[in-house]
Amino acid sequence: MVDAAFERRSGSAAGVADATTERRTTRVAATLVAVAFLAFFLLLPLAVVFVEAFRKGVDVYLAAFGEPDAQAAIRLTLLVAAIAVPLNLVFGVAASWAIAKFEFAGKSFLITLIDLPFSVSPVVSGLVYVLLFGAQGLLGPWLLEHDIRIVFAVPGIVLATVFVTFPFVARELIPLMQEQGNSDEEAAMTLGAGGLRAFLTVTLPNVRWALLYGVLLCNARAMGEFGAVSVVSGHIRGLTNTMPLHVEILYNEYNFVAAFAVASLLALLALLTLVGKSILEWRFGDAISGRTAH
């Protein structure tokens, strides 16, 4: 009552509530500028992918996927993600268990090392494997002798993908598990559960949404990685081309409709990832600790 009276007395727009925000015109102008900027820089490129893909009609669009090379690229992309994501999932769980549930010296250094692949250029991520396994690389002569192909073959593509997606699951789980502490697991063990049972019935359910969140991001990057994979692939059509590499080849051959058609599949994957990510953030924000920066 007193507050209301004070507000009225102190004059129209300068009430206490209004003191902590900008003028209406400023707000509207700032919102318009921000939304226009995002629409121009983010939505327009997304829209152009689908418009270019359907430029010559649905038939030509679909024909792009009938090609054996395109199908081989899709299969290889799925295969690479199917290997890389579970590998980094297991690593993420193991690393977060060791880091979040125990106290040991050098922990923050270990976390920095786990984050390392994020600060390395994708091209450099591919290069390191060429230097290690390439014909002139450290292990090159030995591999040649035993007739093992890693670089310019599927294993190299998998390795490069594992490298660039390395931190995704771990960095979602570590802060959350650190926040949750050990009391749930300790309670379970007091009640007679073994370590494995405590992990499966207590820890895993506690972190399941964050785990899914990490897997989602890891998968999107695994299927979409271009730079690292491009360096180790050798670009052999039908054999070592993933979808992003196939997009590049088609584009450089001026086969724009086919390039954008394959790109539209990847864009769809990105949109699905964003939808899944948003749903997880809105519904289970607390359960994934609400961190969004990457």
Partner 1 sequence: MNNTAIAPTPAEGWRWKQPSVIPGFGIAFGYTIVYLSLVVLLPLGALVLRASEVGLSGLVAVAFEPRVFAALRVSFGVSAVAAVVASIFGLLVAWVLTRYDFPGRKFVDAMVDLPFALPTAVAGIALAALYAPNGWVGAPLAALGIKVAYTPLGIFVALVFIGLPFTVRTVQPLIADLDRELEEAAATLGASRAQALRQVLLPPLAPAVLTGLALAFARAVGEYGSVIFIAGNLPFVSEIAPLLIVIKLSEFDYTGATVIATIMLALAFVMLFAINLLQAWSRRRFGHG
204 binds partner 1 (CB under 8 A): no
Residues 10-69 binding partner 1 (CB under 8 A) are 16, 19-23, 27, 30-31, 33-35, 37-38, 41-46, 48-49, 52
Interatomic CA distance for residues 238 and 159, integer angstroms? 19
CA distance 90 to 271: 26
- CB atoms near residue 159 (< 10 Å): 23
Nearest to 170 by CA among 80, 272, 100: 100
Task: Provide the minimum distance between the beta carbon of 291 and partner 1 in the complex, in angstroms, as a whole number.
Answer: 8
- State the nearest-atom distance from the C-beta of 201 to partner 1, in Å: 14
* Residue closer to partner 1 (CB basis): 212 or 243: 243
Can you list the alpha helix ranges (DSSP code H) found in 191-290? Answer: 195-198, 204-224, 227-233, 243-252, 256-284
Nearer to partner 1, 58 or 109 (CB): 109
Nearer to partner 1, 39 or 82 (CB): 39
Report residue 75 as tokens. Answer: 């299969």
Q: What angle do CA 208, 214, 217 make, to 5 degrees?
A: 140
Question: Using CB under 8 A, which of 6, 71, 75, 112 touches partner 1?
Answer: 112
Q: Does the protein bind partner 1 through residue 267 (CB under 8 A)?
A: yes
CB of 212 to partner 1, least distance (A): 15
Residues 81-110 that bind partner 1 (CB under 8 A): 90-91, 94-95, 97-99, 101-105, 110
Using the minimum distance from each CB to partner 1, give the nearer residue, 82 or 268.
268
Closest distance of CB 148 from partner 1, Å: 16
- Convert 83-100 to b/e letters by CB count within 10 Å (16 or more is b): bbbebbbebbbebbbebb
Burial string for 232-245 (b: 16+ CB within 10 Å, else e) reads bbbeeeeebbbbbb
Q: Could you say whether residue 162 binds partner 1 (CB under 8 A)? A: yes
Among 7, 54, 72, 137, binds partner 1 (CB under 8 A): 137
